Amino acid sequence: MLKHQLLHPKITEVLARAGHHAKILIADGNYPASSKKGPNAEVVSLALSPGVVNCTQVLRAILSAVVVDAVHTMGIPADDSYAQSGEPPVWAQYRAELAEAQLSLSLEPIQKWEFYDAVNSPDHVLTIQTADQSLWANIILVIGCRTA
């Protein structure tokens, strides 16, 4: 029986094959997961019903299973109406999860169109599609090296 919080067999399989610099996309319910992905990426849908499962829950499970070197959120273009509202509330939840996992990583936004380019990389190995209804909840995790 696995000791960490990640139990999904396909996600565990993909992460077990992934190496340093591999990218994991945790996508909200609005992300076009079937068309915006890297050539080597597998897509796993955890969308059960609106809001179930959400990106924060997936982040918590992934952080229990792999070393993460960097965390990129989808940056909001200045001309988007949401940009005037400040930071999306879900980003505070991500910071709380990183702190709970005792990681001193900061969220590094990548502007929307560059975010899609970052996902369209051969290093992108996994998209986990959620049913998260939060706006701007997409997040890329870059896998690091296990040193101990």
DSSP-assigned beta bridge partners for residue 12: none
Angle at 26 between CA 24 and CA 27, to 5 degrees: 130
Measured between alpha carbons, how far is residue 22 from residues 78, 96, 104, 131 in Å? 29, 23, 20, 23
- pLDDT at position 83 is 83
Tens digit of pLDDT for each residue in 9-35?
999 999 999 999 999 999 999 999 999
Residue that the structure tokens 């940056």 belong to: 75
Quote the percentage of the chain above a pLDDT of 70. 97
Is it true that domain 9-143 has CATH number 3.30.2130.10? no
- Kindly tell me if the per-residue pLDDT of 3 is higher than 80: no
Quote the percentage of the chain above a pLDDT of 90. 87
Tens digit of pLDDT for each residue in 125-135?
999 999 999 99
4: confidence class by pLDDT, cuts 50, 70, 90: confident
- pLDDT at position 146 is 82
